[in-house]
Amino acid sequence: MNICCYGAASDNIDKTFLEEGCKLGEKMACRGHSLVFGGGDTGMMGASARGIHKTGGKVIGVAPKFFDKEGVLYQECDEFFWTDTMRQRKQKMQDLSDAFIVMPGGIGTFEEFFEMITLKSLGQIHHPIAIFNINGYYNKLIEAIEYASETKFMYVSPDEIYKAFTDIDEMLLYIEENKKT
């Protein structure tokens, strides 16, 4: 299965996050999954790519041409797709993927996550979406989404759209059990 992982490009984060991103890649490869990601060499993106490669898995990168600068992109991708824009990048990643994992990240990761849960709530995609909630990183965001649901600003329950996990094996099992064919 191709699993798209969204996450930070920054290396200026606590190393615990990077270690967990690497473990996620390792466990994905051990379970026979491939990584689809934004092609970055650093942060959560680079950590997950290194983890999957370390364990013999396949890495599929997608990035806009303007990211083609020294030190920006992961150089060991098994496949790489170039796009002209960030919108095309997101679409290509979506098209290549059977499931989505949202690792800790910044505004770009939030935007990718919200696009996927919007599409799922509208019935445009049916793939499993998981939040990898390392060290409670997403607790406040999850709380805000639950509040939107409780106050009827959302017509679909968050539980029907995504699940949050702290355990990698539980998260991958959820994805495997909920893959849509």
Question: Residue 181: pLDDT band by 50, 70, 90 thresholds?
Answer: low
Question: First CA to last CA across the chain, in angstroms?
Answer: 11
Report the run of H or E that residue 83 belongs to, with start and end. strand 79-83
* Structure confidence by residue, pLDDT tens digits, 97-142: 999 999 999 999 999 999 999 999 999 999 999 999 999 999 999 9
Please report the pLDDT score of residue 91 as a whole number.
97
* Structure confidence by residue, pLDDT tens digits, 78-96: 999 999 999 999 999 999 9
Q: Tell me the average pLDDT of the chain.
A: 96
Structure tokens at 107: 């505004």
Please report the pLDDT score of residue 180 as a whole number.
74
Phi, psi angle pair for 103, to nearest 5°: -85, 170
76, 72, 38: which is closest to 57 by C-alpha? 76
Looking at the DSSP bridge assignments, the partners of residue 63 are 82
> Angle, nearest 10°, between helix axes 86-96 and 107-121?
50
Residue 130 to residues 67, 74, 100, 121, 165, Cα–Cα distance (Å): 27, 24, 6, 14, 7
- pLDDT(30) > 80: yes
pTM: 0.96
Q: Tokens 């934004």 map to which residue?
A: 38
